[in-house]
Structure formats: C-alpha cells, structure tokens
Chain A
Amino acid sequence: MIRAGVPAALITTTVFRGLAESERQAKGTPDLPLLVIDHPLGGERAEAVRLRAEQARRALLEAVAGPSAPPA
C-alpha cells in the first residue's frame, strides 16, 4: 500500500514485535511504520482495549508526523 502511496502501518502487540519486524524485513518494507501496543489484546476488558486503541493512535500520529506531534 505504501508503494502505491497509501499511508499504511503494521500494528502488533509487544510480544509479537519480533515477528512483525522480521515480516517487514522479509517483505522488503523495513520502513513500514510499526505500531506497538501492549500485550495481550484478547481477553481484555473494554477499558484495557480502549487503552490499546489510545496507544495505537499515539503511535500512528508519531509515525505520520514524528515524535514531536502535538497531542490530538
């Protein structure tokens, strides 16, 4: 998607980070933004899932606009 000019990112949880990173390398997209959220995701209550979503949102903003992106 990135090659086609469509913004894209890979979302992973902490324990799957290694797998996600090797996938980025193997597929020739080492610069694909990686959004890392806490593990686990399954079995979490709604509040924890909201926290994961917030983590992903912040990571996405950083990936798109850099670490100094203003809080949105």
Chain B
Amino acid sequence: MSAEIPLTAEVIELEDRPEAVDAYFTERRWSDGLPIVPPTEARVRAMLAATRRGPQETLGELPPAWREATVEKLAINAVVAGALPEHFPVVLAAVEAMLDPEFNLYGVQATTHPVAPLVVVSGPYAARIGMNAGSGAFGPGCRANATIGRAVRLILLNVGGAWPGQGDMATQGSPAKYTYAIAENEAATPWEPLRVALGFGAEESTVTVFGGEGPHNVNDHVSTTAAGILTVCADTMRGLGSNVGWYLSQSQVLLVLGPEHAATVAGDGFGRADVQRFCFDQARRSLLESKLSGMYGIQDWPGWMNAIVDDEARLPLVPAPEDILVMVAGGPGKHSCVVPNCTFSRAVTRAIAA
C-alpha cells in the first residue's frame, strides 16, 4: 500500500560503495560515527510498511531544532540505524512517548547532564522481534536492542538536531547516547509485568522512555534477604553527585533487578510496592549530606523540605514510592542496576501499535 504513496525526502545518488555512502553521511553529520545502512527508497518503503501511519504524518516537533518528526523521516533514520521493519513500531512508540511534555525532551536533549532516553519494552512484542531481556540486556549482540536504540539516537541527532556541543550540550556525553534499549525479562519477573504496573493491559506491549544516566551497578553476592539486597540498591541511588532529588517533583529512579536478586527479594515476601516503599525510605540523603552535594542551594524542593533545619533529617530523593520504577532484566548472576534520571524528566509509557 505504502509503495503508492509519494515520499518527500530528497533523492541523492551516490557511488555504490559503502565507504562513499558513509563518507557522505559523516561529512554532513547525518551519522553517529558508526557505519550506516544506506536508506534506499526500497528500504524506507519496507520500513514504512510496518506501520499504518502515513509517511507525512507527524508525531510532533523534535527539539532543540524543532523539526517535524514525520513518519518518513523516522523511517529513514531507522533504516540508517540498521533496524528491521518489525522494529519500527517500537521506534515510533518511543518517539511518541518522548514527545509527551512530561518527558521534557528539550531538557533531555540540550542539557549538560549525560542523560539518554532509555527505551524499555514490556510485553509479547519484545520476544516477537527478538529483543534481549536476558544476559547482557544492556550490552551488545542483539540486533533489535542495538538498532532500536540507535534509531532513536539518530532521530534525536538528525531530526532533533542534538549534535554534541551544539544542540546537545552534554559536558562529557555518555555511551548510552549511542544506543539504549532493553526488554523486560517477564519470565523472571516475580510480580506483574512493568506495563501492567503502569496501567496497561497484560496483552499489550509498551515502550517506556526513561531519561536516565547509564546503568549504575549494584553488586550483592552475599545478601540472602530482601532487606539486604535492597539496602545495597538504595545506597546506589543516593550518591552525592547524583542529579536525582534536586528537582524533586521530576526526580525518578529506575531499579532494574537481576533475576536472582528479584527472586531473593520476592522470596522474602516483597511485592513491587514493598520494594518501592523500602527504597523510598532508605534511598535518602540527610540534610547534612545534601549540603555536601553538588546542587545544594539551587534545588527545587517543596517548601516543607526547604524548611527542615535538622541536619540528621533524611530527605527523600523522589516525590513518591511509585517514582522508583521497578523491573527485572538480565541473566544469571548477583548484579542489578540503578538508572538515575536527570531530575527534570518523567518516564512516559506508550502502547506499541503493531
């Protein structure tokens, strides 16, 4: 059907050599620096065939360049990233989610903080397209994870205009800005899946975008109780250099439990809400510690927090227990991770239309 619909992107004829195509894209800053897949019309049309949306439909304007995120442009970037057509519905849902004002994409794109949108896929669609939710889910080796995350980044670069040092003012950047996509390990989740906890149906598949730093490791090889593991998790959430907590209303943390940690925690009778409550209570900085932190004096706290004078008082990092998102991913081993957010973006979830 889409083969009959005209496309509007300029057609460029290049020498039929990968090196020539790469050089052309790199010179124009249309690349992340890695080799690209040339977006031929046939490939773009195949990508477009994976959605019912028309090529000229726009999902909105992507900051900081505020260019229209038309489905055609998104498809072109997905091809360039090496994504397959079945990955495209995830990319579209991710862009839709990032454009929700709650996500504050302008801030995420332009900030000096090393934040990248982490794309979390929950639901049966993740397995259908071969996403890795198991060993090394954050790492290399899975085409779906790698190219979905890369497609999102290329869209943020090429449509959004987040070029390092120009639209993207990150002081040091982050490896998470190359690609950052994982799937929930639902089989190893002792609770309801993430999407259900966030109000979606079990039969749906969703994308959650989370404006986060790279994952921070939680190593616990010895704890045999929920409290033991979660105490270590909570400590990882509360470092003096973290952004989390300073703009309290938008602060969130994503806790990605490894399956073995999750089993220990659940085996101790903890539900997801208990994990959230425990971490909400334990992942705190005292007022004295806050005074030693990197944002004290320029924080955006509610009046009741600013009024506290007791240096021993332990202040929350997020506004509510539910702002500690909890999911399971990974394979065997005694590691989990914490993904702190940038303190000015809230996670947004959208259903995947596939």
Q: Do A and B bind each other?
A: yes
B169 at the interface (CB under 8 A from A): yes
Q: Evaluate whether A27 and B169 lie within 8 angstroms (CB atoms) in the complex, with A19-B110, A42-B298 already known.
A: no
The 9 closest A-B pairs by CB, nearest first: A26-B66, A18-B166, A26-B65, A19-B110, A19-B64, A23-B64, A19-B169, A19-B167, A16-B169
B66, A27: Cβ atoms closer than 8 Å: yes
* Known interface pairs A18-B166, A22-B166, A23-B64; 16 further A-B residue pairs with C-beta atoms within 8 A, sorted by A's residue number: A15-B169, A16-B169, A19-B64, A19-B110, A19-B166, A19-B167, A19-B169, A22-B64, A22-B65, A22-B161, A22-B167, A26-B64, A26-B65, A26-B66, A27-B66, A42-B298
A-B contact pairs, 7 of them (CB 8 A): A15-B169, A18-B166, A19-B64, A19-B110, A19-B169, A26-B65, A26-B66
CA distance A22 to B65 in the complex (A): 7
Chain B: minimal CB distance from A13 (Å): 10
- Number of A-B pairs, beta carbon distance below 8 Å: 19
Q: Please, which residues of chain B bring their CB within 8 A of the CB of A22?
A: 64-65, 161, 166-167
**0/1 string, A17-49, CB within 8 A of B gives 1:** 011001100110000000000000010000000
- Please give the residue numbers on chain A whose beta carbons come within 8 Å of chain B beta carbons, in ascending order: 15-16, 18-19, 22-23, 26-27, 42
CA distance A22 to B166 in the complex (A): 9
Chain A: minimal CB distance from B297 (Å): 10
Complex: chain B residue closest to A40, CB-CB: B112
Q: Please, which residues of chain A bring their CB within 8 A of the CB of B298?
A: 42
- For chain B, residues 107 to 150, give those with C-beta under 8 angstroms from any C-beta of chain A: 110
CA distance A22 to B64 in the complex (A): 8
Q: Please, which residues of chain A bring their CB within 8 A of the CB of B161?
A: 22
CA distance A26 to B64 in the complex (A): 8
Q: Please, which residues of chain B bring their CB within 8 A of the CB of A23?
A: 64
Chain A: minimal CB distance from B166 (Å): 6
CA distance A22 to B110 in the complex (A): 12
Q: Please, which residues of chain A bring their CB within 8 A of the CB of B169?
A: 15-16, 19
CA distance A23 to B110 in the complex (A): 11
Q: Please, which residues of chain A bring their CB within 8 A of the CB of B64?
A: 19, 22-23, 26
CA distance A23 to B166 in the complex (A): 11
Chain A: minimal CB distance from B69 (Å): 14
CA distance A19 to B167 in the complex (A): 6
CA distance A16 to B167 in the complex (A): 9
Complex: chain A residue closest to B106, CB-CB: A23
Q: Please, which residues of chain A bring their CB within 8 A of the CB of B167?
A: 19, 22
**0/1 string, B169-193, CB within 8 A of A gives 1:** 1000000000000000000000000
Q: Please, which residues of chain B bring their CB within 8 A of the CB of A19?
A: 64, 110, 166-167, 169
Q: Please, which residues of chain B bring their CB within 8 A of the CB of A15?
A: 169
CA distance A19 to B160 in the complex (A): 12
Q: Please, which residues of chain B bring their CB within 8 A of the CB of A18?
A: 166
Chain A: minimal CB distance from B278 (Å): 34
Complex: chain B residue closest to A43, CB-CB: B294
Q: Please, which residues of chain B bring their CB within 8 A of the CB of A26?
A: 64-66
Complex: chain A residue closest to B166, CB-CB: A18
Chain A: minimal CB distance from B29 (Å): 14
CA distance A42 to B246 in the complex (A): 15
Q: Please, which residues of chain B bring their CB within 8 A of the CB of A27?
A: 66
CA distance A26 to B65 in the complex (A): 6
Q: Please, which residues of chain A bring their CB within 8 A of the CB of B65?
A: 22, 26
Complex: chain B residue closest to A42, CB-CB: B298
Of B66, B166, B298, most buried by chain A (CB within 10 Å of CB) is B66
Chain B: minimal CB distance from A41 (Å): 10
